[in-house]
């Protein structure tokens, strides 16, 4: 990349959000662990570096640190929260514990800014910032000046303009900080001299060229789940190699109503590729018969999917290249300050040892989810696929609580289809981050047609969130909920009661299992 910014991860919970905010400014950035050597940074030659926050205290010898020589590389640096304290501590300032509760700050804080500082030049002199710290800087290093304060924080920001070193105690990357994005833009463009040339159009053009050069006249096999990531990867590969691409789609019968047909129609009509659909609903249901434990169900579904997929590949397509829809968050370990560790993820599939591909192609491996969606739209994928809500790897298998049967799956599919139909009709779908139906495995007494019933209870779950780390239950109007209940009970067999889940995350999770 012609211009790159490094986000150096010290274990902050918002490290990915910082990177996303930078990329929203059309500046490419990568998250690297704090253990990366200075030589590697020199090799990358970034336009700027951002230190993330973190849960540690900089004066603790066991906490993450970085060699002080980074401040002598001549590269602009912005320290955020722990990163700000680390900058101060490393350069001779003083950081102490906020033993007095009036000094530690969590949440929104009224903040005064010095507009002579380039970071705050476009902001009012006063605003709200988002604080989360139990330590604070009580003396800045030589050559620095204080550029922001709060009632409880004597150094809410500091700057050494000559060396282009800046620190903020608060989090400009979160929405709660007023003008936070403008602060980041000022650092990127006014301090680092970035031009903002990284755009999705150039990404598609460059990636297609790279794939063509790598593949040549050989074949590519992609496991297509119908989710956003694998679908965008399929569209990108199709543009690059056309009929050399084979997409294998395993329909295990645990998708939403008509979703398998939708996926097949999309990729057979819109794209030039070989599309292989494996219908194995009965096979999966037989493996799941009598199983109620959620972890056992997950294991069975995952294992059976793996076996069905690779048996098909082994028989017909075990050559050329293997492709998968890995995206950037799949490759980095969040919150531990060590991006070298790769967490297990459904988008990163282990290839059996007896199948010998020439290499792995991961065209989306450097993109965040919102960037993947942008690529999908530019490639002409249908909006309902590009903006498909998160869907668990085991599918409806974790939304049917208890034993999974064909009848219960059908009931859930019908109820879920009604929920989606009503949300689209009333225009409320765009207000929600995720919504779905759960079959809890509870039967209740009801009265229908003057007769006693004893049938299934259906639960509706809908949440709003910015990042899915936390989520609030959605305040859907009563009249919409009333229509939903009426339709589900009247149109779905074996359902006589509907309830609405009003649990936020935490303490609950978004999914029930």
Tokens 């999705």 found at: 200
DSSP one-letter code for 505: B
Q: Which residues contact 216 (CB under 8 A, 6 or more apart)?
A: none
CB under 8 A, 24+ apart: contacts of 313-318: 313/221, 313/248, 313/355, 314/352, 314/354, 314/355, 317/219, 317/221, 317/246, 317/248, 318/355, 318/356, 318/357
Q: Which residues contact 204 (CB under 8 A, 6 or more apart)?
A: 236, 239, 375, 378, 379
- Token reading at 389: 């809500």
Which of these is catalytic: 30, 173, 259, 264? 173
Burial class (CB in 10 A: 0-12, 13-18, 19+), 202: exposed
Three-state DSSP string of 150-164? ECCCCCCEEEECCCC
Q: Which residues contact 112 (CB under 8 A, 6 or more apart)?
A: 125, 126, 148, 149, 150, 156
- Token reading at 150: 């709060």
Integer CA distances (angstroms), 22 to 1, 18, 331, in order: 14, 6, 19
Give the residue from 357, 362, 306 showing the smallest Cα distance to 331: 362
| Half-sphere exposure in the Cβ direction for 308 (13 Å, CA) | 22
Q: How far is 167 from 148, CA to CA, in rounded Å?
A: 10
Reduce the DSSP state of residue 21 to 3 states and report it.
helix
The reply to whether 81 belongs to the active site is yes
Which of these is catalytic: 171, 259, 371, 422? 171
* Beta pairing partners, 359: 321
Angle at 19 between CA 14 and CA 20, to 5 degrees: 95
Which of these is catalytic: 29, 81, 192, 247? 81
Angle at 126 between CA 121 and CA 130, to 5 degrees: 95
Annotated active-site positions, please? 81, 171, 173
């Amino acid at each position: 990349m012609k211009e790159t910014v490094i986000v150096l991860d010290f274990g902050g919970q918002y490290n990915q959000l910082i990177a996303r905010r930078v990329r929203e400014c059309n500046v490419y950035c990568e998250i690297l662990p704090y253990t990366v050597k200075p030589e590697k940074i020199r090799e990358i030659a970034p336009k700027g570096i951002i230190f993330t926050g973190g849960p540690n205290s900089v004066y603790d010898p066991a906490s993450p640190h970085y060699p002080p020589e980074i401040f002598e590389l001549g590269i602009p640096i912005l320290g955020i929260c722990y990163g700000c304290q680390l900058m101060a501590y490393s350069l001779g300032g003083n950081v102490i514990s906020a033993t007095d509760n009036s000094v530690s700050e969590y949440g929104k804080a009224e903040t005064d800014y010095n507009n002579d500082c380039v970071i705050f030049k476009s902001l009012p002199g006063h605003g709200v910032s988002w604080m989360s710290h139990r330590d604070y800087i009580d003396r800045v290093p030589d050559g620095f000046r204080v550029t922001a304060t709060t009632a409880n924080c004597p150094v809410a920001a500091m700057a050494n303009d000559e060396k282009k070193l800046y620190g903020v105690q608060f989090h400009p990357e979160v929405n709660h900080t007023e003008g936070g994005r403008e602060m980041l833009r000022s650092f990127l463009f006014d301090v680092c001299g970035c031009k903002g040339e990284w755009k999705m159009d150039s990404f598609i053009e460059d990636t297609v060229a790279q794939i063509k050069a790598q593949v040549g006249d050989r074949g590519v096999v992609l496991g297509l789940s119908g989710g956003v990531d694998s679908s965008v990867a399929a569209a990108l590969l199709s543009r690059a190699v056309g009929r050399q691409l084979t997409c294998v789609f395993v329909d295990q019968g645990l998708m939403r109503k008509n979703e398998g047909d939708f996926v097949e129609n999309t990729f057979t009509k819109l794209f030039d590729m070989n599309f292989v659909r494996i219908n194995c609903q009965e096979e999966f249901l037989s493996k799941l018969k009598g199983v109620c434990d959620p972890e056992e169900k997950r294991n069975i579904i995952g294992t059976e999917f793996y076996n069905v997929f690779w048996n098909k590949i082994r028989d017909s397509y075990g050559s050329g290249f293997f492709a998968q829809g890995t995206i950037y968050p799949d490759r980095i370990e969040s919150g531990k300050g060590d991006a070298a560790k790769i967490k297990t993820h459904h988008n990163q599939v282990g290839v059996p040892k007896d199948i010998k591909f020439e290499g792995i192609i991961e065209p989306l491996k450097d993109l965040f989810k919102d960037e993947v969606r942008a690529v999908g739209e530019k490639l002409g994928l249908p909006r309902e696929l590009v903006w498909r809500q998160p869907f668990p790897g085991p599918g409806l298998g974790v939304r049917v609580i208890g034993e999974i049967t064909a009848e219960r799956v059908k009931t859930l599919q019908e109820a879920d289809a009604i929920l989606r139909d009503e949300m689209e009709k009333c225009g409320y779908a765009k207000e929600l981050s995720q919504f779905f139906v759960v079959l809890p495995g509870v039967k209740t007494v009801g009265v229908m047609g003057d007769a006693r019933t004893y049938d299934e209870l259906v639960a509706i779950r809908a949440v709003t969130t910015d990042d899915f780390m936390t989520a609030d239950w959605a305040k859907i109007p009563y009249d919409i909920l009333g229509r939903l209940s009426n339709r589900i009970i009247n149109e779905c067999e074996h359902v006589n009661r509907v309830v609405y889940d009003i649990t936020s995350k935490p303490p609950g999770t978004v999914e029930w299992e």
